[in-house]
Amino acid sequence: MTVDFFLVTYPCDYDWLPYLWRSIERFATGWRRVVMVLEEQDALPDDIPSYVTVRRCRNYRGTLLPGYYGQCIEGLRAHEYTDADVVWFLESDTVFVRPIDVASDPQWPAVRPNLLYRSWDAAGPAQVWRESTRQAVGFDPLAETMCCHPFVYPRALLEDCWPGEACLRLVFRQTGGLSQFNVLGAWAMVKHPDMFRLVDVTKGYPPSCMRQFWSHARPTDDAVRAELTRLGLA
């Protein structure tokens, strides 16, 4: 079984990447490579590690599908960028926070990975994703599934989800936002629940092996810098 990390990034978030690389090098084993997707017009980040494979996608900025939507679309198409058995999603402002073999960790396994969910009644503001996810997958999603990192999906699930007629219709005719992890989670819960360990987060879940800082902050912010220092990444 092979596990690839998958990342879509943009120049405005390049300053996060050194900390992501350091966290992978310090904490993560059991993976093959990082597949990093950049829009076709963007310059390369500095100091790309040798284990990173750079791929290019179309330019979304200045179109009807800018920024965040483009990232979601390329995430749904991750199976077209890698032949790994399992795709482990990263974002520029995420880091690993403890040692982990991503292929065999008992809390966050790559074989039958955790699929975290919560009922829509418990989803709070995330209820906003219910209708657009319904449009994407063609049925009412059972639960909200963009709970927290890590998001880990078998490539076969991605390959099965993307050709769905409703999914293609949504990504090219935006009507209500897009949440790639709600689309994938909804598809997984209904079409392939046997591929996952379903975990209701309202009843508890394993401590995450990752931390997301959110890109509206910066790695130079005092609180962020202190946490990166604590983790040995600054």
- CATH number for the domain that contains residue 81: 3.90.550.10
Q: What is the pLDDT of residue 69?
A: 80
For the segment 52-62, the average pLDDT, to the nearest whole number, is 93
With cut-offs at 50, 70 and 90, classify the pLDDT of residue 63. Answer: confident
Identify any residues that bridge with 200 across adjacent strands, giving them in sequence order.
117
Q: What is the pLDDT of residue 214?
A: 79
- % of the chain with per-residue pLDDT over 90: 81
Amino acid identity, residue 221?
D
For the segment 116-137, the average pLDDT, to the nearest whole number, is 92
* pLDDT beyond 70 at 28: yes
What is the residue range of 174's domain?
3-230
For the segment 192-198, the average pLDDT, to the nearest whole number, is 97
* pLDDT beyond 70 at 164: no
Per residue in 72-89, pLDDT (tens digit) is: 889 999 999 999 999 999
Torsion angle (degrees, nearest 10) of CA 139, 142, 143, 148? -80
For the four alpha carbons of 59, 181, 215 and 8, in that order, the dihedral sign comes to negative
Higher-scoring residue by pLDDT: 137, 21: 21
Q: What is the pLDDT of residue 120?
A: 97
For the segment 35-57, the average pLDDT, to the nearest whole number, is 97
- Give the span between the Cα atoms of 171 and 98, in whole angstroms: 35
For the segment 96-120, the average pLDDT, to the nearest whole number, is 97
Q: What is the pLDDT of residue 73?
A: 87
Phi, psi of 96 (to 5 degrees): -80, 145
Helices (H), 63-219: 67-76, 129-137, 155-161, 165-172, 180-191
Q: Are residues 46 and 16 in contact, defined by beta-carbon separation less than 8 angstroms? A: no
What is this structure's pTM?
0.94
- Number of domains, the chain: 1
With cut-offs at 50, 70 and 90, classify the pLDDT of residue 234. Answer: very high
- Give the span between the Cα atoms of 182 and 8, in whole angstroms: 17
